[in-house]
Structure formats: structure tokens, C-alpha cells
């Protein structure tokens, strides 16, 4: 993805950003307290509300750690834009002004860890959010536990992340949710033989495991399971091996942003012409890059929790507002998770009260139910995962553009990795 770096972002946490700078006196108070806290108790979270005078409640600071540069910058751009749009539309949560402080980890876990610590100790954020990739969320989880600060995962999707800390709450999805739905769909639609091709790390392993289990339980066979390196992937040799296995379909998981390279190589090898279909999780046909893929994407069937084409008044309003605020950018599933993550924080603060601390906020997030642009969602109180609709979608050209057109709804899907244990 080609993306400009927003001027408000502090690359690797080194420069102060216009967006995150606390105004005037507030900024000095935050910094002075930050230094004191750093020397006395490195990981104690700030009190949720700091007195600023009788008439003005203290701001609620939300620290977003996202890959704003590097290969996964489209994720950072989408989540940040949607979270800021939410805060612009809802400038006070339970009467407290909201401030978003975004930091760029460039997709590097050591940087995520350092930034999480800095945001908690120096910037006094009440909530951490973002987390573009699984290793980044896992790097920050111990800091959330020690500081007792909620960590709202707005992108990463390996099922085990919520088990890394009792302070983790998911606003995106898990790969088992989408992989089992596409496996059921494939089996019901007569596919008998599929090869899996996934990125070789947490979410890819989840996708492979859960697709294979469900598809073979339904009578399908998986003659080859291929894992492609996450960094700088060259899909060609893996696509050749997939082709050699002569499947009816290739099931694909690649993280948001990587799908167009894969689809280009699929087309170059003439695999569609050889009668091999592409199916996958919706990460592949990411709305942010779908139009770049061209005609090869047409007919690809995926399962996921969000399509920009989702037909509801709430979603039409979301897509329109997102576009108005961000030029021509189409919101993808990362954007809706950023939007809903902020909605979870607002609703939890309203439920628990404006002075709620981190543990109270997490407790208040459990069981929240609301209508999102993606459809109805509930935070499962036992797992801190979202129970949500998973849609089967088919890429179609409409009015000159490619869209993930929803064809079927699997309602209220809980994370199978937890419910089946």
C-alpha cells in the first residue's frame, strides 16, 4: 500500500505530534507526573481522572500503537483514521474529553513494547489500543497486565491473544471465526479438495488449523498445507506447489495489505484458467486494496466480519463519513475495528462511571452489546472476544468498482477456538 504518513504521528515515538500534544498547562502536568511515576513505579497506571479545575473534567487519553510506516502501514492508517473519526463524532466519553495519542511501531515488536511502556508511564493513557499484528499485541500484553490498563486489540486476530492478559479485549475477530465459516461454505457448495496457503505466523497457523479441521470433518481433503514467510513473501513457488496438488480451490490467509501481490501471481501463473478457485478469509480481499487487484479478484469467495458494501443504514453512514474525512479512502475491516474499539471504550466508561480505573473498564466491556457498522456485536464476558456475524462474500464489479458483496450471513459466531475447548 502506498500511504502518506500523517503529520500527527510520532515515528517510533521520537517526536511530539500535533494531535497528541496536550494543550498548555495540561501538558506540563502530564510530563511532570510522568517523570515522577517513571522513577517511583515504572508501570503504575495514572489515575483515570486528574483534577484540572472544578469546571472541566480531565481528558481520557487513549494510546494507539500502530504500524504507520513499513509494510503494514495500511492497517495503521485505517485504524487511526477510524478511531479519530469516532472521537471527532463523540468528543466526550462519559463527560470527559477524549484525546488520542498515536505512536508508530513500524510493525516491530520491541518498539511496540517500549511505546506501550512510555504511553502508560509518561503519557498517562487510560487505555491502550491498536496492535496491527499478533506479535505486536503479544509484546504489549504483559505491560497491560502489570499497569492494569485495558488493551483493546483493533487489528490482530490470532485466537490466543486474549489469553495473554486478562486486560486484553478484542475489537476485531479471530481467524478461527472466519476460517470455520468459509470451510462450512466450501463443503456445502460441493468443494472436495482444497490446498491451504497461509502466512507463516500466528493467524496463518490458526487459519490453516481451523479450515482444515472443519473442511475435513465435512468430508473434504487437504492434500497440501503451504506456509509462506510473513516478511517479503514470494508466492510463486508456493502457488506452483499448490497447482501441482491439482485442487479445486486454494484456501488463503494473508494479512491485510498482502493480497494484491498474491492475486497478481495467481493470475500470472494462469491458475484460474486451470480451474482452480481462490477462497479465503476476508483479509485477502481487503477493501483497502481490492480495486488494485483487478479482474482476477472477481468471483473470489471469502468469509469475514466486515465489508464496506455491508447493506445497512449504519454502515452507509460510516462509509460516507470515513470517505468525507479521508479523501477517497474506503474503510476496510481494520477501520471498523478501530471505530468499534473506541465505541467499546466509550460505552464501558459510561457504564462504569467517568472515574473508572483500568480493571473497572475491562469489567464494564464484558457483555457490552451494540449495533456496529458491521452488524450486531457482543463482547463475550467469558472470553473477551466479539461474538459477531460472519458473512460469506463474493467479489463482484459494481459501477466500475470491485466490492465484497455479502451473499450469506452466519449469525452470532463466537470464537470457536474457545467455545470448543
Q: What residues line the site for ligand PHB (CB under 6 A)?
A: 133-134, 155-158, 202-203, 255-256, 283
Minimum distance from residue 232 beta carbon to ligand PHB (Å): 16
Minimum distance from residue 173 beta carbon to ligand PHB (Å): 8
C-alpha cell at 317: 453512514
* 364 CB-contact burial (10 Å; exposed 0-12 / middle 13-18 / buried 19+): buried
How many angstroms separate the Cα of 415 from the Cα of each of 83, 175, 298, 300, 335?
Answer: 24, 9, 29, 24, 21
74 vs 389, beta carbon nearer ligand PHB: 74
93 vs 251, beta carbon nearer ligand PHB: 251
What CA–CA distance (Å, rounded) separates 167 from 130? 14
Structural contact between residues 203 and 415, judged by C-beta atoms closer than 8 angstroms: no
158 vs 389, beta carbon nearer ligand PHB: 158
215 vs 305, beta carbon nearer ligand PHB: 305
Minimum distance from residue 83 beta carbon to ligand PHB (Å): 17
Minimum distance from residue 301 beta carbon to ligand PHB (Å): 17
**10 Å Cβ neighbour count for 96?**
21
Minimum distance from residue 37 beta carbon to ligand PHB (Å): 31
Name the residue whose CB lies closest to ligand PHB: 255
93 vs 305, beta carbon nearer ligand PHB: 305
46 vs 392, beta carbon nearer ligand PHB: 392
DSSP labels, 106-164: TT-HHHHHHHHHHHHHTS--SEEEE--SHHHHHHHHHHHHHHT--EEESS---GGGGGS
Minimum distance from residue 209 beta carbon to ligand PHB (Å): 14
What CA–CA distance (Å, rounded) separates 319 from 378? 22
Amino acid at each position: 500500500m502506498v500511504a502518506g504518513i500523517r503529520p500527527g504521528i510520532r515515528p517510533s515515538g521520537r517526536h511530539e505530534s500535533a494531535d497528541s500534544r496536550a494543550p498548555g498547562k495540561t501538558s506540563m502536568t502530564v510530563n511532570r507526573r510522568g517523570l515522577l511515576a517513571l522513577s517511583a513505579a515504572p508501570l503504575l497506571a495514572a489515575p483515570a481522572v486528574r483534577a484540572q479545575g472544578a469546571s472541566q473534567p480531565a481528558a481520557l487519553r487513549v494510546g494507539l500503537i500502530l504500524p504507520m510506516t513499513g509494510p503494514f502501514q495500511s492497517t495503521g492508517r485505517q485504524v487511526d483514521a477510524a478511531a479519530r473519526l469516532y472521537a471527532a463524532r463523540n468528543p466526550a466519553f462519559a463527560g470527559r474529553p477524549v484525546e488520542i495519542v498515536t505512536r508508530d511501531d513500524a510493525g516491530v515488536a520491541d518498539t511496540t513494547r517500549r511505546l506501550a511502556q512510555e504511553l502508560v508511564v509518561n503519557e498517562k493513557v487510560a487505555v491502550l489500543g491498536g496492535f496491527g499484528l499478533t506479535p505486536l499485541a503479544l509484546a504489549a500484553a504483559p505491560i497491560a497486565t502489570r499497569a492494569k490498563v485495558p488493551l483493546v486489540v483493533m487489528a490482530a486476530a490470532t485466537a490466543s491473544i486474549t489469553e495473554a492478559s486478562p486486560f486484553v479485549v478484542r475489537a476485531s475477530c479471530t481467524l478461527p471465526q472466519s476460517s470455520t465459516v468459509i470451510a462450512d461454505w466450501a463443503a456445502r457448495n460441493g468443494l472436495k479438495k482444497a490446498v491451504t496457503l497461509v502466512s507463516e505466523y500466528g493467524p496463518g497457523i490458526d487459519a490453516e488449523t481451523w479450515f482444515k479441521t472443519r473442511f475435513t470433518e465435512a468430508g473434504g481433503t487437504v492434500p497440501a498445507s503451504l506456509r509462506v514467510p510473513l516478511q517479503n513473501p514470494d508466492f510463486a513457488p508456493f502457488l506452483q506447489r499448490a497447482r501441482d496438488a491439482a485442487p479445486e480451490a486454494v484456501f488463503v490467509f494473508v494479512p491485510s495489505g498482502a493480497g494484491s501481490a498474491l492475486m497478481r501471481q495467481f493470475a500470472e501463473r494462469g491458475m484460474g484458467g486451470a480451474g482452480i478457485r481462490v477462497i479465503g478469509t476476508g483479509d485477502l480481499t481487503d477493501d483497502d486494496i481490492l480495486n488494485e487487484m483487478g479482474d482476477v479478484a472477481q468471483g473470489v469467495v471469502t468469509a469475514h466480519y466486515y465489508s464496506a458494501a455491508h447493506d445497512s443504514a449504519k454502515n452507509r453512514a460510516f462509509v460516507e463519513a470515513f470517505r468525507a474525512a479521508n479523501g477517497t479512502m474506503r474503510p476496510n475491516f481494520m477501520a471498523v475495528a478501530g471505530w468499534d474499539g473506541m465505541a467499546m471504550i466509550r460505552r464501558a466508561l459510561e457504564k462504569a462511571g467517568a472515574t473508572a480505573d483500568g480493571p473497572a473498564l475491562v469489567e464494564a466491556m464484558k457483555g457490552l452489546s451494540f449495533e456496529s457498522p458491521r452488524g450486531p456485536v457482543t463482547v463475550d464476558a467469558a472470553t473477551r472476544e466479539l461474538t459477531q456475524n460472519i458473512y460469506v462474500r463474493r467479489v463482484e464489479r459494481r459501477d466500475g468498482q470491485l466490492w465484497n458483496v455479502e451473499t450469506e450471513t452466519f449469525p452470532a459466531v463466537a470464537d470457536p477456538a474457545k467455545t470448543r475447548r
